[in-house]
Chains A and B, each alone.
Chain A
Amino acid sequence: MKNKCILQVEDEEADIFLLKWVFQRAGIESPLRAVTDGQMAIRYLSGEGEYADRQKYPLPCLVLLDLKLPGMDGLEVLAWTRRQPNLRRLVVLVFSSSAQPKDVERAYELGANSYIQKPSDMEHTLEIAQLLKGWWLAYNHFAPVYELPTPKSA
């Protein structure tokens, strides 16, 4: 459980800060990494560029994905992961301030595992962190996610 890395894809600094804060408050020990746009997310998941170091940036077992991102948006990142043979089983929780039915439907169609509306206050965010800790980190079983053998990484 300690090794289960969580990747947050979020462009808002305050939300990154808050999540880190509530994780700490909730006692989640899993490493939390954050990227601030879609391209970075893809590079991270591919282990490319600055994210080639898997010691520092381990492959996550769970992604908290904001939808509204500069450049490539969350749904595109989601779609991309589902096209990757090694990442199509990656658990992706959409974590967006929008709960428009259109977005919810599209996210599930593209293979999101859950859709959570980002609360606007700390109390509810803390509650979500606590639930996440129990549901996803304590009780949930993940299918293995592995690195794709590439010439570079070989």
Chain B
Amino acid sequence: MNKEPLQRWRKEYEQIHMSETAHHHIMQHVRHAPMQMFSRIASTAAVCVLLFAGLTFGAVNLSPTLAQHLASNPSLAPLVNIITFNRYQTSDGNMELDVQTPHITGLSDPSLEAALNEEFDTLASSVITAFQNDLQDLRDNASQLDPHISVLFDYTVLTNTPAYLSLDIYQVNTAGSAGAWHHYYTVDKNTQQLVTLSSLFRDGVDYITPINNYIQQEIQRRLEEDPSAYWNGDNNIPAFSSIRADQPFYMDTSGHLVICFEQYEIGPGSTGNPVFTIPSSILAPLQ
């Protein structure tokens, strides 16, 4: 009878504990992450799109057609709906893909509607193409690893107010998400125009510095709660220094500007996709 190593190993195994910081952070996330991030709610009104994309799936930029509509004319908003236009599922052994493409209907500007829907279709097909490339790559290079990958491309409505509707088009790589990023496209419901960050402020005003100052402050506050939540310059990973002029953002249900960062952009993976709601008191003088 030689059970001794097993008992010894089990003891050593049981002595492995997650750091309290990580434990705390994960439980906080589970308790407080907004529920609407986890279930899809089809809804009405204008559109603000945020996109989570996995590392291997490149950023999809605002198409030229869509960009032209930044200057589209204001008009009355009819009943606007988000529908699932297309669903594509495929699986190969342990590799699964599920893509649900949203379409927006009922926008008063049919060419903006068509451009948005074309954008959504392009996003979806780029995910499908990337998945197929990954599949081939893994077959060629890593078949001995018996990789398990599941990719979900889906959407959820984040915000639905008289002012804005936020449509979240996201991708979940059920196998890690290093380098996940967001793209937010915001449309003002009243004007039915896509909104850029700079368009929220007076022409020529420096909105970057006040927003940076607030985010710096907020990061320091959050670091006191959890010292490892954000990069602090250690290990040659630069700490947050400045937002970009076109930093991703969306408008929340209270009409506040929410500045968004990609996973790993300013903190470790366990921090997820950090967002900062900017108080109106900071923005008002700039508008």
A binds B: no
Binding site for A on B (CB under 8 A): none
